[in-house]
Structure 1
Amino acid sequence: MALSDNDVQKQIKHMMAFIEQEASEKVEEIDAKAEEEFNIEKGRLVQTQRVKIMEHYEKKEKQIEQHKKIKMSNLMNQARLNVLMARDGMITDLLNEARQRLAKIAEDPAQYSSLLEGLVLQGFYRLLEPKVTIRCREQDIETVQVLSCLMLESRYCLDKNIAVYKEAVKSNLTVKIDRDRFLPPNICGGIEMYNENGKIKVSNTLESRLELMAQQMMPEIRASLFGANPNRKFLD
C-alpha cells in the first residue's frame, strides 16, 4: 500500500526531529566534555601558576632572610671591630702614659744611672762581641762613660760592668762611645749597642724595652683591662 504525501511528510518530519534530537544531544555531550576538559585544564593551569607563585615568593623570602642574615652579620662584625678599635685605643693610651712615665725616670740621676748600668751590661751579654760601640742620648754621654769606664782618667770609675762581663764570659771586651751620632732627643733614655762593623744592633732604649715588655705581657694586660677571653683555649 503506497504512502500518501501526507504520510511521507510526517515521516520526514519525524526523521528530522529525531536527527535534530540526536544532534542536540551530541552537541550537549560535546559541550559537557569541552566544559569538563576546560575545567581540568583551567585547574591544571591555576595549580601550575599557584606553584610558580609560591616558589617565587618562597625564593623571595629566602633572599630576604639571607639578606637579613648578611646584614646582621655585617653589623655584628662592625660592632666587633668598633670594640677592638676601642680596646686598641685604650691600650695605646695606656702605653703612651707608660712612655710619659718613662721620661720621668731620667729626671732621677741615681735611679737612671742604676737603670743604665743594667741596660749596658745586658747589652754586653746580648751582643757577645769583643768590640762594641755604645750610642746614647747626648745628655747621657757622661753617665755612660762612667758606667763603661771610658773616661780619660779611669780612676773616676770602677770598671764594674766590663769586669762583671769578663768574669762571666771569660773574654776581653773593648768599648767605645759613638760621639758622632746620638739617639734622637725624643727618646726617653737607654742605649743602643753595635758590634765592631755596625751590622748587629742591640736596642736597649727605654722605648724598646717597653715595647718588648708590652708584647710579652699583652695577654695579661688585655685580661686586666677587659677580662678573660672566653674563646681563648690556651694561655701560653
Structure 2
Amino acid sequence: MNDADVSKQIQQMVRFIRQEAEEKANEISVSAEEEFNIEKLQLVEAEKKKIRQEYERKEKQVEVRKKIEYSMQLNASRIKVLQAQDDLVNSMKESASKHLLHVSQHHHTYKHLLKDLIVQSLLRLKEPSVLLRCRKDDVHLVESVLHSAEEEYSEKAKVHPPEIIVDHIYLPPAPAHHDAHGPSCSGGVVLASRDGKIVFENTLDARLDVVFRKKLPEIRKSLFGQIAA
C-alpha cells in the first residue's frame, strides 16, 4: 500500500471518528436537554404546588376569619336584641311599680288588702306570736285591722288567735321623686317570728317581684313570640 492509500484510509478513519464523536456529542446534548427540561418542569410543578398550598392555606384563614367575624356580629346582634327585650320588660315592671303607688291611696281598698296580707302571712308563719313591720304611714290602718285579721287567721288555721306586735322599726316610705334610688316601699307588711328566724315579706313590691318572675315566660312570649330554644 502506497503512501496515498495510507493517507486516504487515515482520513476516512478520522472522518469516521469525528462523525461518531459528533453523533455522541449530539446524543449527550439531546439527553442533557431532556434532563434539563424534565428537572425544570419538576421544579416548576413543585413551585406551583407550593403556591397552590399557600393559596389554599390563606383562603382557609380568610374563611375562618369570615366565620369568626360573622359569629361575633351575630352574637353582638343577639345581645342587642336581648338587651332591648330586657329593657322593654324592665320598663313594664317599672310601670307596674308606679301603679302600685296608687293602691295605698285608696284607703278603704288598701285597708282590706292589708288585712288579707296579714292573714296570708300568719298562715305562712303559723307562729303563736309574731312581729309585724309596716310603713309609718300605714300604722293606723294596720292597727285598725289587726283584730279582724287575728280572728280570720284563728278560724282558718283552727288555732287560738296569735299575738301580733307592731314593730316600731318601719319599712321605708313610698318612692320619692327627689330620692328615686333610695330604699322605698309601696305598701304591705313584713311578718317575722319572735326570734327572727322566719321572715315572710308580703309587701306590694315583693309580691310584684314574685308575680313578675312567675309570669316572665308568658310576658316574653306575649311580647316577642315563641323563642326557639
TM-score (norm 1): 0.88
Q: 2:151 aligns with which of 155, 158, 163?
A: 163
Could you tell me how far apart the structure 1 residues matched to 2:81 and 2:55 are? 38
Structure 2 distance, partners of 1:20, 1:118, is 130
Residue 125 in 1 paired to residue 150 in 2? no
* Offset at residue 9 of structure 1 (A): 3.1
Matches within 5 A, 1:70-219: 70-148=68-146, 159-172=147-160, 173-179=162-168, 181-185=169-173, 186-219=184-217
AA aligned opposite 1:12? I
Shift of 1:31: 1.0
Structure 2 Cα separation of the partners of residues 13 and 127 of structure 1:
136
Q: What's the secondary structure of 1:199's corresponding residue?
A: coil
Distance 1:32 1:9 in 2: 34
Aligned pair partner of 1:51 in 34, 49, 52: 49
Which position in structure 2 is the counterpart of 1:153?
Answer: none
1 CA distance for matches of 2:214 and 2:163? 32
Deviation, structure 1 residue 12: 2.6
For the residues of structure 1 that align with 2:10 and 2:159, how far apart are their CA atoms? 147
- The aligned counterpart of 2:180 is none
Q: Note the C-alpha offset of 1:220.
A: 1.2
Answer yes or no: is 1:224 the counterpart of 2:222: yes
User: Which residue number corresponds to residue 2 of structure 2?
Assistant: 3
Residues in 2 aligned to 1:171 and 1:23: alpha-carbon distance in whole angstroms: 133
Separation of aligned partners in 2, 1:226 and 1:8: 117
State the partner residue of 2:62: 64
Partner of 1:29: 27
CA shift digits 1:172-192 (9 cap, x unpaired):
31110111x111122111111
Rounded to whole Å, the distance in 2 between the matches of 1:8 and 1:145 is 156
Amino acid at match of 2:103: I
1:82-129 deviations in whole A, cap 9, x for unaligned?
000001001111100110110111111012112111111111111111
Q: Please, which of 12, 15, 27 is the counterpart of residue 13 of structure 2?
A: 15
Q: In 1, distance between residues paired with 2:43 and 2:73?
A: 44
Task: Give the letter aligned to residue 161 of structure 1.
Answer: A
**Structure 2 gap segments, 5+ residues each:** 174-183
Deviation at 1:30, TM superposition (A): 0.8
Identity within the alignment, %: 40
